Amino acid sequence: MSSFAEKLIKQGEERGEIRGTIKGKQDLLIKLLRRKFGLSSSNEKIIRSVTDEVKLDAAAEAILDAKSKDEVLKLLGQ
């Protein structure tokens, strides 16, 4: 296989891994918020729109001490 093709394959794999990681963090955040506060479909869409891993991590950690889901969603920039 040519090095150009290998680079394209590697880029595709890396993008897939990143997307998978982000989806996993979104899934976890949705599960935790749903369990603690309940979650509307519009809130779920907000979470799905966030692709910044740092924001998703911060929001997931904040759930432990949050008094409302709005506190958590605010960390996502929403």
- 10 Å CB burial of residue 59 (0-12, 13-18, 19+) is buried
Closest-CA residue to 70 (of 24, 28, 26, 39):
39
The band of 78, judged by pLDDT with boundaries at 50, 70 and 90, is low
Looking at residue 8, its pLDDT comes to 79
The band of 1, judged by pLDDT with boundaries at 50, 70 and 90, is low
3-state DSSP assignment of residue 2: coil
Q: What is the pLDDT of residues 3-44, one digit of tens each?
A: 888 887 888 888 888 889 999 999 999 999 999 999 999 999
Give the phi and the psi of residue 30 in degrees, each rounded to 5. -60, -45
Looking at residue 74, its pLDDT comes to 95
Looking at residue 14, its pLDDT comes to 82
